[in-house]
Structure 1
């Protein structure tokens, strides 16, 4: 215990936290959480933010995030009180940096006088110096050996479940977990399901998301098309979703499925519409991507298609509502390079071959049918 106290800069407590839970900071009324990235990235941070809100119930929690984060928290109920847009900054938010914009941002942040700033954005090489410029009284976060130190830090090791990593950081601020995984609910003013659903007289909806930021994480479009046709034959209506950049991919799935009641919604839904569609779905099937993580957070059954390494970082913890099909490929199918090494320790080859192509359609389809047929009685806490 003495060693923990010396290393982490606080009094360690034994409890049900993920890792050590230290003493809370005193007089915390404003909290800033740094988490850039995409939809899935911020969903991973929600359990930590819920823990921080429970530990400091009188505090306002501000997420320093991106436009998609702002849209998410406008469409759902969450622990986030407000979203403040990050400026473009290397390693924090991609885009061309504007020094004047950065200076104005940090002037504003320092003027808010945050009591606690929490870094949930990677290993800290770029994000820790960024966080320190906020001028908060206390700082906690993750840290690689070459990153600037914060007041209390957790060693950053890539292969760790992302929500649990974030909860370990929250523990550094004295926050015990409330949930191990994200929980969201549609906002009271959210889009109505009727505004996004096409009532064509068929059965329940199965939602498919064939996209992923890294092409290697994508199950081939032909597999999704085969699954869509099988679900349609079972009497489901099938919605293929994605953002504007995935419209062609979704249309390819619909075209190859060549089945009635298979529709593309890609590029047509805002966040409120996506949430409305998700909560009406019987099952959502997707790669390791933001929409699948969103469905899970909304309590919708999911079937996930994952490369094995991504299961460690992002897979659902339970199997009652969430099934995972993992590919154990460890080398690029084209050049044979080891793909288990993370980007900053080994070069990424230029090939985008799917690492999950070997997952069988029949097995995914069986899980869709099983989950759709299962009715669970949910008890509100």
Structure 2
């Protein structure tokens, strides 16, 4: 069987879909799994064995399936008709897209519920698993896993030899929205507390949305050693997180990725519900909602590791 999946989400949403993809792998072991989404994220899933073939949602002609007045090119029709089953997490064009797939002969399942998940619905992994219940599959784990081999981590950190041997602390002060961000002064308090203990610069990954948050942290840290890592590929970011003694971040994709690669993770929630969006791992602590104080985070770190 050949299965094609469509996922428009960012890395945090994709991480929370890993238990669903794992269920497809385990409960339909003969299936070949092709996923269309953010290409770099899909490539990471392929390299870690989660899926077979990674493709971009910008696949030629795919946009025509969202507009009933447009005809898909023959090459797209032939490509899609080579699959037996489509699983869609697409929220836009709720009716048009799946209907176009069905008209091409694909059995299609999609998420039936509203977004965001309603209060009391449990962790987000349950929400993202929902389409697969229509196939009779069972959710075997609620803990997303993205295992990196030692060889992958070593290779992906080749540009960061300073991070290959001894442990380090990762602080990620950004997120998709400033209202989610813990104050820079409190992140700086962590840097001042832990940098002398680990005798190594605190690592700060800086993505495109993190400019202001990282600048505020650097200013607040007042000369304490911060290793700001900018322009990271998703591979590099995953490898850096996997080697961390601990990761502290906000409600962000970085925090979810950290948990999935096995890093002890403290995630701070100011504006969203950790009962839904928390990092759902035994090696994670989710704090909030509200304005979490520095001592709470230090206590959470101490409960996960000894630094």
Name the TM tier (shorter chain).
0.7 to 0.9
For 2:145, the equivalent position in structure 1 comes to 183
Q: Does 1:130 align with 2:63?
A: no
Contact 2:170–2:247 (Cα < 8 Å) also in 1: yes
For 2:80, the equivalent position in structure 1 comes to 110
The CA RMSD measured in Å over matched residues stands at 3.2
Structure with the higher helix share, 1 or 2: 2
Matches within 5 A, 1:211-250: 211-235=174-198, 237=200, 238-250=202-214
For 2:253, the equivalent position in structure 1 comes to 290
SS in 2 for 1:227: helix
Q: Does 1:273 align with 2:236?
A: yes
Note closer, same or farther for the CA distance 1:232–1:174 as it changes in structure 2 (3 Å cut). same
Larger radius of gyration: 1
Q: Report deviation, 1:260.
A: 3.8
Note closer, same or farther for the CA distance 1:200–1:105 as it changes in structure 2 (3 Å cut). closer
Matches within 5 A, 1:24-173: 29-73=1-45, 76-87=47-58, 103=73, 106-112=76-82, 114-122=83-91, 126-134=93-101, 135-144=104-113, 157-159=117-119, 160=121, 161-173=123-135
Q: Report deviation, 1:259.
A: 4.2
Note closer, same or farther for the CA distance 1:364–1:183 as it changes in structure 2 (3 Å cut). same
Q: Report deviation, 1:263.
A: 1.4
Q: TM-score, normalised by structure 2?
A: 0.83
SS in 1 for 2:267: strand
Q: Which runs of 5+ in 1 are unaligned?
A: 1-28, 146-154, 329-357, 375-381
How far, CA to CA, are the matches of 1:226 and 1:55 in structure 2? 46
Q: Report deviation, 1:49.
A: 0.9
How far, CA to CA, are the matches of 1:51 and 1:274 in structure 2? 26
Partner deviation per Cα, 1:43-76 (whole Å, 9 max, x = no partner): 11111011012221111111121133234325x4
Contact 1:232–1:259 (Cα < 8 Å) also in 2: no
How far, CA to CA, are the matches of 1:200 and 1:165 in structure 2? 37
Q: Report deviation, 1:101.
A: 10
Contact 1:87–1:102 (Cα < 8 Å) also in 2: no
How far, CA to CA, are the matches of 1:279 and 1:46 in structure 2? 17
Partner deviation per Cα, 1:255-277 (whole Å, 9 max, x = no partner): 3212443211132x212211221
SS in 1 for 2:170: strand
Partner deviation per Cα, 1:312-353 (whole Å, 9 max, x = no partner): 3221345x411111124xxxxxxxxxxxxxxxxxxxxxxxxx
Q: Which runs of 5+ in 2 are unaligned?
A: none
How far, CA to CA, are the matches of 1:254 and 1:270 in structure 2? 22
SS in 1 for 2:262: coil
Q: Report deviation, 1:218.
A: 1.2
SS in 1 for 2:86: strand
Higher relative contact order (CA 8 A, sep 6+): 2
Partner deviation per Cα, 1:26-49 (whole Å, 9 max, x = no partner): xxx011122112111111111101
SS in 1 for 2:288: strand
How far, CA to CA, are the matches of 1:214 and 1:293 in structure 2? 16
